[in-house]
């Protein structure tokens, strides 16, 4: 039975993020796949498995116990959207800061185009600002809306 866009996205999060199986990247991300909206040093989209592995390894090392729960998944044709809830403990010295040993919980959304069982293009919108606030490296004063960190 061929993989559906929903089954590919479910496998991506379960196998890669929850189980830590890095081979999932080579299997499910197309060689020319583009991933938008994840924090990268230069702010540009991630292209292909090699670049994605660098992001994955840095994030996984920062949060070795990361868990991603798919709260809702909607699929139409080649497109699939997932509402994700992320939890983990910041134990690694990656992401440009020393480990804080603080737990985080944040949410976000992914929209992905899946063709022939592989992710061709993905758009991510996660509350990374909330994650950094929980780690104590970013503060937001709502009475005075300037950002400091």
* Tokens linked to 54: 């660098």
In a domain, 13, yes or no: yes
What is the DSSP code (8-state) at residue 44?
P
Q: Would you state the pLDDT for residue 124?
A: 97
In a domain, 145, yes or no: no
In a domain, 149, yes or no: no
Residue 46 CA to residue 25 CA, distance in Å, equals 13
In a domain, 134, yes or no: yes
Nearest to residue 100, comparing CAs of 89, 116, 111? 89
In a domain, 144, yes or no: no
CATH number at residue 120: 3.10.450.50
What is the DSSP code (8-state) at residue 17?
I
Least confident among 49-53, 112-116, 137-141? 137-141
Q: What is the pTM of this model?
A: 0.89
Q: What is the DSSP string of 82-115?
A: EEEEEEEE--SS-TTS-----EEEEEEEEEEEEE
For the segment 35-79, what is each residue's pLDDT rounded down to a tens digit?
Answer: 999 978 888 999 999 999 999 999 999 999 999 999 999 999 999
Q: Would you state the pLDDT for residue 85?
A: 98
Q: Would you state the pLDDT for residue 22?
A: 98
Q: How far is CA 86 from CA 2, 38, 41, 131, in A?
A: 28, 14, 22, 10
Q: Would you state the pLDDT for residue 40?
A: 82
Nearest to residue 62, comparing CAs of 30, 10, 102? 102
What is the DSSP code (8-state) at residue 45?
P
* Tokens linked to 38: 């994840």
Q: Would you state the pLDDT for residue 146?
A: 59
Q: How many domains does the chain have?
A: 1
In a domain, 128, yes or no: yes
Pairing mode, if any, of strands 46-47 and 67-76?
Answer: unpaired
Flag whether pLDDT at 122 surpasses 80.
Answer: yes
Q: 84 lies in which domain range?
A: 5-138
Q: Would you state the pLDDT for residue 147?
A: 54
In a domain, 146, yes or no: no
Q: Would you state the pLDDT for residue 1?
A: 63
In a domain, 148, yes or no: no
């Amino acid at each position: 039975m061929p993989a559906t866009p929903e089954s590919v996205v479910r496998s991506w999060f379960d196998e890669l993020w929850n189980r830590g199986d890095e081979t999932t990247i080579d299997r499910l991300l197309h060689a020319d796949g583009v991933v938008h909206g994840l924090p990268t040093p230069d702010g540009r989209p991630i292209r292909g498995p090699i670049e994605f592995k660098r992001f994955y390894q840095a994030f996984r090392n920062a949060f070795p116990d990361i868990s991603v729960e798919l709260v809702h998944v909607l699929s139409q044709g080649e497109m699939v959207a997932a509402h994700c809830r992320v939890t983990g403990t910041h134990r690694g010295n990656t992401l440009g800061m020393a480990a804080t040993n603080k737990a985080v919980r944040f949410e976000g959304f992914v929209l992905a185009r899946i063709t022939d069982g592989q992710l061709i293009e993905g758009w991510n919108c996660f509350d990374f600002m909330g994650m950094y606030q929980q780690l104590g490296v970013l503060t937001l004063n709502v009475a005075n809306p300037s950002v400091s960190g």
